[in-house]
Every structure is written in structure tokens, then in C-alpha cells.
Structure 1
Amino acid sequence: MENSLAAIPLANLAIAFLPVLLVLIILVQWSLPTKNTLHALVRMLVQLLLVGYVLSYIFESDNAWVIGLLLLLMIAVSSWIALNNIEQPKIVLFKQTFIAIFISGVFILIVITQGVLHLSPWYQPKVIIPLAGMVFANCMNSVSLSGERFFSERQRAQTYINARNIAFKASMIPNVNALFAVGIVSLPGMMTGQILAGVSPFIAARYQVMVMCMIFASAGLASAIFLRLNKGYK
């Protein structure tokens, strides 16, 4: 197998949207709302096409300040998105969300890049940006799940301890399921990408173990910090 994948022509890429079209047709036939789904698909397409150009510039930069500012921007955006499904004022919870994602995400990145990979310098964009994206996105999803469940339980007059425990358990379900399924039901994205690129499956498996630990820990820490910061919620 060659060490690099061939570029996908745009005409071929369009074929990937045929199954997506089928799902949209189902939504229409079942009289379900499609506006939010279409909005998400368009944003996905535009964002990924644009990020290719942005990352090309960032990958060529050798500036720790640029990478640091980009990481902060990623944390801020993920913190805001995490609150989309929480029926509480975003402005009120943004601080707690930002702190939870910042502390857990940065801690995990330090452990992985310096303890596991011995990355030098720490701001190598081709490594730190993809890893940070995985960590912050996972923190975002975990906080979103735990927050939605926590405030729902509190509104049902559950005590803080009970609501916290229920919310934390719920937020960890996707990650625990992923641990059970990895290697048997699914080959995760990073491992699949490396194998497609010609990397030995044995080496790819080691990197995937690192990623699974990174994702599991970031989800748990982000949820725990967020829930702890909202202990005073009435």
C-alpha cells in the first residue's frame, strides 16, 4: 500500500452526499423538521473546506503565540456550542463551561504531548491541532450531555449529589460504549486513517490506545469539573 492517499476529486466527493440525501428525504416524508439538519450539513461542508486553507497556513507557521491563540479560540467555541442543548442562559454558564474544558483539555494535552509523545517544541501544529480538536470536541460533548441531564434532574427536585451522579454517568455512556466496541465493532477514525495511509496496524493500534485514553479521561474530567462548578445551582 502506498504511504499517501490519492486526492479525492470534488465530483467523486459529491457521491458521498447521496446517502445523506436519502436521510433528508426520510425527514421530509415523515414530516420532520429539516431546517436544522440542512443548516448543520451546509456548515459542515463550508467549515471543512475553509479549514483546509486555514490549516495550510497554520501548519506552515512556527509561532507558539499563533498556536496558543488558536487553542483558546477552539476552547471558547466548543464551550459555547456545548451549551446549545442546555436550557439555561448561555452567558451564565459560559464561564463554568470554559473553565471545565480549559482545565481538562489542557491537562490531557500536556500529558499526551509531553508524557507520551515527547513533542518538541510543544506547539508543532500538525500534531497539537488535531489532538486538541479531538480533546476539546470530546469535552464539549461530555459537558453538553452532563449539563443537560444535571439541570433536568435538579428541576425534578433531585438533590445536588443525585443529580450530579446521574448526569456524570449519562455523560460517560458514549465513551464507555466506545471502549467496549473498539477493535470489535468499529475501527476508530485515527486508526482507520493511519491504516489507509499505510501505517502498520500494530503501530496504529498503539496510537489508538493513546487516543482512547485521551478521550475517556477528557470526557470524565470535563464533566466532573463542570458539575462541581455548578454545585451552587438552585
Structure 2
Amino acid sequence: MQNISFVNLLITLIPLVFVWYYYKKWTKDSSEIIISTIRMLIQLLAIGYLLIFIFESKNIFLGLFIICFMIIVSSFIAIRNTIDKSLRHYLHILISILISGVINLFIVILVLNLEYAYEPRYIIPLAGMIFANTMNALSLAIERFEKEIQRGLEFEQAREISFKACMIPQINSLLAVGLVSLPGMMTGQILSGVDPLIAVRYQIMIMTMILSSAGISAIIYFILKKKFTY
């Protein structure tokens, strides 16, 4: 695969400066994009070095620790934009992400038919995809649900609208894949020289996983919300 120099990588910041200018001008927030970008750079560079160590060690306990860390952090991020920031609400989110993520990760392990159940080169990146997608979908569902409840809708009506809203990005991705977009994982594999038909199989697995992890997390969340709040 073609290597990217750090100097050339800086070119990607040019359109970001344009977005930052208008974000600052229109939202009066001059720091959020800058802080987010700096965090992204530090986090990705750190995880790059960490992954080298993880892939070489193949320590299953280290892998379990990283997956648990993903679940805890993604739950904190999901609750960030919600109105209810109570411990009980956080636990509802954590349980939803945990169950949905573990179910889909287990299925992925079965589908890949790996020599060992824990292969960090596969499990860690795929777990990251699952939990990040679950976190985003759940954030959308909760944010929309709380707004619909504030508007005076009943639980069932708010749940219906919120569930459909959180699934829109995933369903749109399924409809657009191959026609509008070549998703990131598939593009990365093709750029690294993998046979496109093999890359397609991996992408099918990812797309179904993305839809189901989003849906299951929202379903579990609303079941918990109904049982313990309403």
C-alpha cells in the first residue's frame, strides 16, 4: 500500500480549516473542532503504537480489558448529549451497548472461523467498529426520544419515532453501498491489494453487523427504559 508522509497528511487539514471558520462564525464555538481534531490525532497515533504491541502479544486478558474499556467509554460518549445523566440511565446505555456488541462480536468470530477464538488483528478493529456504531445509533435514539417526550408524546409514540430515526443512517448505508459509496473497510482492503470479491464478503459481514448492532442496542435500551422508568 502507498505510504502517506506526515507532510502530505497535513494537506487534509486545509478543508478542515474552512469548516472550522464557518463553524466558529455560525455557532460562536471556536474550540470544539480544534480540540476534537487534536484529540483525534493524539488518540490515533497512540492507538497505532498500542496496536503493534497488542497484535504481537496476543494476550486474551489484555484483549478483554480493551473491549471492556471500549464499552465503558462508548457509554460515556453516548450519554454526553442526553438530558438524563443519572447513573441509572448510564447503566441502561452500558447494558444496551454491552449486550448488542457482544452478540454481534460473537457472530463475527463464528463467521470468520478463526484458528483461535481471540485473534487481536481481527477482533480488536471489528469490536471497535461494532461499539462505535452502536454508540452512535443509541445516541441518536436517546436524543430524539427525549425531545419527543418533551413535546408531550406518549412513550410508545416517542419510541417509534426515535427507533426509526436512529436506524436511518444504517439503512441508508445499506441502500447506498456499491452504488454511491465503497465503504471504508472494503476500500482499505482493496487499496492493500486484497481481491475485491474477498473484500466484498467482509463488507457484507460489516454491513449486516452495523444494522443489527444498532437495532439491538436501541431495542434493549427501550425495553430497559419501559421497565424501569415508565
Q: TM-score range by the shorter chain?
A: over 0.9
1:12 counterpart residue number: 8
Find the partner of 2:29 among 33, 38, 53.
33
Give unmatched runs, 5+ long, in structure 1: none
Deviates more, 1:16-25 or 1:84-93: 84-93
1:69 counterpart residue number: 65
Misfit runs of 4+, over 6 Å: none
Q: Name the TM-score, length of structure 2 as normaliser.
A: 0.95
- Alpha-carbon deviation of 1:31? 6.0
- Alpha-carbon deviation of 1:90? 4.5
- Alpha-carbon deviation of 1:10? 1.1
Query: How much identity, in percent, do the aligned residues show?
Result: 46
1:97-140 deviation per Cα after TM superposition (whole angstroms, max 9, x unaligned): 111011010000111111x1112322211000010000000110
CA RMSD of aligned residues (A): 1.4
For the residues of structure 2 that align with 1:102 and 1:27, how far apart are their CA atoms?
A: 34
2:195 counterpart residue number: 200
1:192-217 deviation per Cα after TM superposition (whole angstroms, max 9, x unaligned): 00111111211111111111001000
1:128 counterpart residue number: 123
For the residues of structure 1 that align with 2:77 and 2:207, how far apart are their CA atoms?
A: 23
Q: Name the TM-score, length of structure 1 as normaliser.
A: 0.93
For the residues of structure 1 that align with 2:223 and 2:21, how far apart are their CA atoms?
A: 43
Find the partner of 1:94 among 90, 93, 112.
90
- Alpha-carbon deviation of 1:27? 2.6
C-alpha contact 1:146 1:227 (8 A) present in aligned 2: no
- Alpha-carbon deviation of 1:29? 4.3
Q: 1:165 to 1:69 in 2, by over 3 A?
A: same
Are positions 1:152 and 2:147 aligned together? yes
The letter of the residue matching 2:189 is Q
- Alpha-carbon deviation of 1:233? 2.7
Give unmatched runs, 5+ long, in structure 2: none
Higher relative contact order (CA 8 A, sep 6+): 1
1:187 counterpart residue number: 182
1:66-94 deviation per Cα after TM superposition (whole angstroms, max 9, x unaligned): 10111011010001101111111153311
Are positions 1:227 and 2:210 aligned together? no
The letter of the residue matching 2:35 is H
2:204 counterpart residue number: 209
1:42-70 deviation per Cα after TM superposition (whole angstroms, max 9, x unaligned): 11111111111111111111211110111
Are positions 1:83 and 2:104 aligned together? no
- Alpha-carbon deviation of 1:30? 4.0
